[in-house]
Structure 1
Amino acid sequence: MTDYLTHGRIAGGVISTPDLDAALADYHGCLSLKLVEQGTLDADLAASWGCPKSAGARFATLEPESGAHCFIRLVEAPLPDDFKPTRTYGWAAYELTVKDVFGWPDRLQGSGFDIVGPPKALEGLPYFIPMQVTGRGREMIYLNEVAENTPTSDLPKAGSLTDHIFIVILATPDREASLKWFEQALKLDISSSYTLAYSMINNAFGLGSDYRTTLTMVQKGRLPIIEVDDYPDEATVRQGDPEMLPPGNAMITLAVDNLDALDVSFITPPVRREGPVYGGRRTATVRGLADELIELIEIGG
């Protein structure tokens, strides 16, 4: 653990992928993330996530060259034929801070990433330039080059070509209820809201280009953490085996000061875990109001 971790900081994201070796070629070979761990998922860890049938699945853990304590874990899992990104509730995307976003379309040539949104400035959001890709598990990844801080948050400029996850996006059937839960249960702060034409959502649901979505940022002080999006009525619950990790963007990991101080129900009681992600700290997992999985690592103990 390093001083990088403070309450609410994103310490990682888990991705379900149908072909671990091919996904590793993408994340390690193309995105230049460092491989720090490989193996099969321990049954106790899978149970703590509420995903006992994921036990024994092959996994790989990667971190950015910058050394930021933020890990992407790829876990091999079946991919439902009907799973489409940005149409179901749960974790919709992970946003990585990167360098030279306009150079990424060429870098991704020949990889398993499909570009679904080329680099483009967003209406009313001059603070970063994003592009959007999907991976082999139909996970959504935003590659964002930060331009400047927002009036209410500090945005990290990349310390390596591909750096850490600095925002995660949640699709929820009730934005206000989810915001209240993050505030009360996880002791996070509600920040700015924006209403804009969101091309990822409009394209996914076949909406007109002028359809506007409201989103709200969840932060800790000036640290951005979660973007909570309103989703159209056509959105559905994510399909898949309820005892396995969800497809696509499956779970996030957050640092918290004190597990015992949170107003949450853990899937299984907190335990200390070793390895690059945990470093001997206590950890436990909860489900949010959109049934999203949130693994919590205690950093104050």
Structure 2
Amino acid sequence: MSAYLTHGRIAGGVISTPDLNAALRDYHDCLGLRIVEQGRLDADLAASWGCPKSAGAPFAVLQPESGAHCFLRLVEAPLPADFKPTRSYGWAAYELTVQDVFGWPQRLQGSGFDIVGPPKALEGMPYFVPMQVTGRGREMIYLNEVAEDTPASDLPKARSLTDHIFIAILATPDREASLQWFERALKLDISTSYTLAYSMINNAFGLGSDYRTTITMVQKGRLPIVEVDDYPAEATVRQGDPDMLPPGNAMITLAVDDLDALDVTFIAPPTRRGGAIYGDRRVVTVRGFAGELIELIEIGG
């Protein structure tokens, strides 16, 4: 298991997509992630996620050229016709650290990615320049070029054109309750809060451009992990078959020191799993306060 992994580090994200081959053209050919595994989803693994109907689904595992131990898994799944990103509780986006963010609009031409937010500096946050895209499964991906560390966190500069997920964004019906869950259940730290005009949320809900949202970072020391966002009252539970992976941004994988030390309820008992992601470590999946799926890899055992 890579020394890159420490308690709380994001080891991957799962994306539901309606057409795996088309999605691979986007993530491999366009974003430049390398394919490290392909196949059909094992029934035992799908059951451990609480998603037994996802068993047998075609999948692919991709890794950044930097070699970071952080993997994007694309899993083929039906896309509900009325699913819209950034309107429901659960994982709202994955933030990838990239190089040359202002060059990405041209690189994405002809791909299955739609640009929903061109590269733009954020109000009061000079630490990185983000842009936002949605993929074929209506997953939301932020491509962020890091400029500097924040006063409270260390932000990773990309070591390849497209590098690893360094923050996952969570939409929740109760920000404070979600923050307390991460602190109690996963032994993570509540860090800085920001209040800003968040264009992705304002556009998704038809709010005015001056509507302001409060967001709070969950970290381990100076390592950023999850951004927890307040969502408007119009937000809903993520739609889709409850026995399958959710549509869009479906699940994240975190490294933890000791599964037995956590205050969580496992969907299924811990199981040792092999492969590039797991490295023959014990793995379980849990649900957070907002119903989000979080897979945990034990790195201390």
Structures share a fold, TM > 0.5?
Answer: yes
Match of 1:279 in 2: 279
Residue 203 of structure 1: SS of its match in structure 2?
A: helix
Match of 1:183 in 2: 183
Match of 2:174 in 1: 174
1:254 and 2:254 correspond: yes
Give the letter aligned to residue 76 of structure 2: E
How big is the shift at 1:140? 0.0
Whole-Å Cα distance in 1 between the matches of residues 2 and 151 of structure 2? Answer: 27
How big is the shift at 1:158? 0.1
Deviations 1:215-267 (A, max 9, x none): 00000000000000000000000100000000000000000000000000000
Whole-Å Cα distance in 1 between the matches of residues 239 and 191 of structure 2? Answer: 31
Whole-Å Cα distance in 2 between the matches of residues 36 and 138 of structure 1? Answer: 23
Q: Structure 1 regions of 5+ residues with no counterpart?
A: none
Whole-Å Cα distance in 2 between the matches of residues 2 and 42 of structure 1? Answer: 24
Question: What is the 5 A alignment of 1:111-150?
Answer: 111-150=111-150
How big is the shift at 1:67? 0.2
Residue 53 of structure 2: SS of its match in structure 1?
A: helix
Match of 1:242 in 2: 242
Give the letter aligned to residue 33 of structure 1: L
Give the letter aligned to residue 33 of structure 2: L
Match of 2:89 in 1: 89
Give the letter aligned to residue 47 of structure 1: A
How big is the shift at 1:149? 0.0
Match of 1:80 in 2: 80
Question: What is the 5 A alignment of 1:185-264?
Answer: 185-264=185-264
Whole-Å Cα distance in 2 between the matches of residues 265 and 140 of structure 1? Answer: 28
Whole-Å Cα distance in 2 between the matches of residues 256 and 55 of structure 1? Answer: 26
How big is the shift at 1:2? 1.1
How big is the shift at 1:45? 0.1
Give the letter aligned to residue 260 of structure 1: D
Give the letter aligned to residue 234 of structure 1: E
TM-score in terms of structure 2 length: 1.00
Whole-Å Cα distance in 2 between the matches of residues 279 and 76 of structure 1? Answer: 24
Deviations 1:136-179 (A, max 9, x none): 00000000000000000000000000000000000000000000
Off by >3 Å, runs of 4+ in structure 1: none
1:70 and 2:87 correspond: no
Residue 60 of structure 1: SS of its match in structure 2?
A: strand
Deviations 1:166-215 (A, max 9, x none): 00000000000000000000000000000000000000000000000000
Match of 1:14 in 2: 14
Residue 116 of structure 2: SS of its match in structure 1?
A: strand
Residue 209 of structure 1: SS of its match in structure 2?
A: coil
Residue 103 of structure 2: SS of its match in structure 1?
A: helix
1:52 and 2:52 correspond: yes
Whole-Å Cα distance in 2 between the matches of residues 19 and 161 of structure 1? Answer: 25
The two structures, once aligned, show a CA RMSD in angstroms of: 0.2
Residue 204 of structure 1: SS of its match in structure 2?
A: helix
Residue 218 of structure 2: SS of its match in structure 1?
A: strand
Whole-Å Cα distance in 1 between the matches of residues 278 and 197 of structure 2? Answer: 39
How big is the shift at 1:42? 0.2
Match of 1:28 in 2: 28
TM-score in terms of structure 1 length: 1.00
Residue 44 of structure 1: SS of its match in structure 2?
A: helix
Match of 2:104 in 1: 104
Match of 2:164 in 1: 164
Residue 182 of structure 1: SS of its match in structure 2?
A: helix
Residue 266 of structure 1: SS of its match in structure 2?
A: coil
Q: Count how many residue pairs are aligned between Structure 1 and Structure 2.
A: 301
How big is the shift at 1:131? 0.0
* Identity between Structure 1 and Structure 2 (%): 86
Match of 1:4 in 2: 4
Residue 149 of structure 1: SS of its match in structure 2?
A: coil
Match of 1:289 in 2: 289
Q: Structure 2 regions of 5+ residues with no counterpart?
A: none
Give the letter aligned to residue 190 of structure 1: I
Whole-Å Cα distance in 1 between the matches of residues 121 and 297 of structure 2? Answer: 34
Whole-Å Cα distance in 2 between the matches of residues 165 and 62 of structure 1? Answer: 12
How big is the shift at 1:23? 0.1
